[in-house]
Amino acid sequence: MKDIRINGDRLWNSLATMATIGATRRGGVCRLALSDLDKAGRDLFVGWCRDAGCVVSVDQMGNIFARRDGLDPARPPVATGSHLDSQPTGGRFDGAYGVLAGLEIIRTLNDSGLRTQAPLEMVVWTNEEGSRFAPAMIASGVFAGVFDLNYGLSRTDAAGKTIGEELARIGYGGALPVGQRKFGAFFEAHIEQGPILEESGTTIGIVSGAQAQRWYDVTVTGQEAHAGPTPMKRRHDALLGAARAVVEVNRIGMELSPAACATVGFMSVGPNSRNTIPGRVLFSVDLRHPDDGMLATMDADLRASLHGMGSELGLTISIDQIWHSPAVNFDGACIGTLREAAAQLGLSQRDIVSGAGHDSCYINRVAPTGMIFIPCQGGVSHNEAESASKHDVTAGAQVLLLAMLRHADLV
């Protein structure tokens, strides 16, 4: 089986052709979900799938399924896919790689005349990025039952247009009910979007799961006062408290590094005036860890250290957790197949935890799911400079091919 070789040049050319749709001047891509450019990217992909003999169907969230029949139609399909939408200043690999790697697998099997028992499917998930319509991964979320269909279709962009209206406008509001499809297994290939594989000289990252996350809004309330007549010892400076909190958040992350991440990314200072001691500061906290229990420990540490700091400085601290996403653990059998495939091909591999969300994180709730990463240059993504090597792009697709054939049973 390991002698079936995917065509790296053809995959590379498909990526380059897809990247012409929404191409930006600095070599990136802007293909916002359900825009005319997203439609053009979808049309190109669907055309390629039909040329490869696949039957294409679209569900009510605009998710695209391109099916290559198996010899046993009763078996659930073994599927792979990702997304074709991008950030406003996105790269040419984020999402498109996972979609086009699937297409290359179908083309390779066609070239060699090989059939599988189970059908194979390539999937494009709608609005993964969450850039035009929040939240991210909305359509795979509806598919997995995390959100209901009406919620998904009624999300609006900044201009007030809904996902449902825009799907209808570009002709991708399909008839298929969302989420009724059962996959035998689902795989996704993606660029890492971080530096670990490149730094360690590893070709294939076997993704064990994704980090648990908690997001907070924190408000520090002190007392506004004149910056001149108010002695240092009598102050209740909310910004001083917020500054100490930033140091505490960093400590919480550092103490459990490298597994943990802890970030203050947003801050608003009131009244934000040069000669007034700040009375009220609002800031965000983002805590992440691959283990739910360790994240709960970080949560307790955050609350204790911020409240301790507050009473020391005479400040009121309110900590509001606004979002919690538990850790994702991908399917053991799928992970095993991916490891075996990489080993069989003699590729370097290591286990890795995804710091970012992916459609696979939701699909994992309804189907056995596995994911691989390939290195991206400098660990950079969501950036026009995003880049990956032809060697790694090819190697990842080859791993995906072997893993899918293992689950779909090559005849």
User: Which residues contribute to the site for Zn ion (CB under 5 A)?
Assistant: 94-95
Written as one string, the DSSP assignment of 307-374 is HHHHHHHT-EEEEEEEEEE--EE--HHHHHHHHHHHHHTT--EEEEEESS--HHHHHTTTS-EEEEEE
Tell which phi-psi region holds residue 409, choosing left (phi > 0), alpha (psi between -120 and 50) or beta: left
Residue 203 CB burial class (10 angstroms; 0-12, 13-18, ≥19):
buried
Choice between 95 and 370, CB closer to Zn ion: 95
What angle (nearest 5°) sits at the alpha carbon of residue 63, between those of residues 59 and 67?
Answer: 85
Q: Which amino acid is at 66?
A: A
> Considering beta carbons, is residue 100 or 405 the nearer one to Zn ion?
100
Tell me the closest approach of the beta carbon of residue 382 to Zn ion, in angstroms. 9
Q: How far is the CB of 190 from Zn ion (least distance, A)?
A: 6
- The minimum distance between CB 30 and Zn ion, in angstroms, equals 15
Query: How crowded is the C-beta side of 206, counted as CA atoms within 13 Å?
Result: 20
The number of beta carbons lying within 10 Å of the beta carbon of residue 5 is 13
Residue number, 62 or 95, with CB nearest to Zn ion = 95
CB of 128 vs Zn ion, minimal distance in Å? 6
Cα distances (Å, whole numbers) of residue 5 to 1, 334, 359: 9, 21, 27
Q: Which residues contact 25 (CB under 8 A, 6 or more apart)?
A: none
State which residue, 62 or 278, has the beta carbon closest to Zn ion.
Answer: 62
Nearer to Zn ion, 95 or 396 (CB): 95
User: Are 93 and 192 contacting, i.e. CB atoms less than 8 angstroms apart?
Assistant: no
CB of 100 to Zn ion, least distance (A): 13
In whole angstroms, give the CA distance from residue 259 to residue 249. Answer: 15
The answer to whether 155 and 132 have CB atoms below 8 angstroms apart is no
Q: How far is the CB of 83 from Zn ion (least distance, A)?
A: 6
Nearer to Zn ion, 32 or 405 (CB): 32
Q: Of 295 and 371, which CB lies nearer to Zn ion in the complex structure?
A: 371
Do strands 225-226 and 369-374 pair parallel, antiparallel, or not at all (unpaired)? unpaired
- Smallest gap from residue 374 Cβ to Zn ion (A): 13
Please say which residue, 84 or 252, places its beta carbon nearer to Zn ion.
84
CB 379 within 8 A of CB 192: yes
SS3 30: coil
Kindly tell me the burial class for residue 4, based on how many C-beta atoms sit within 10 Å of its own C-beta (0-12, 13-18, 19 or more).
middle
Report the residue number, 8 or 130, with the smaller CB distance to Zn ion: 130
We find the least distance from the C-beta atom of residue 95 to Zn ion, in angstroms, to be: 4
- Minimum distance between the CB of residue 90 and Zn ion, rounded to whole angstroms? 9
- 314 vs 225: CA distance, rounded Å: 14
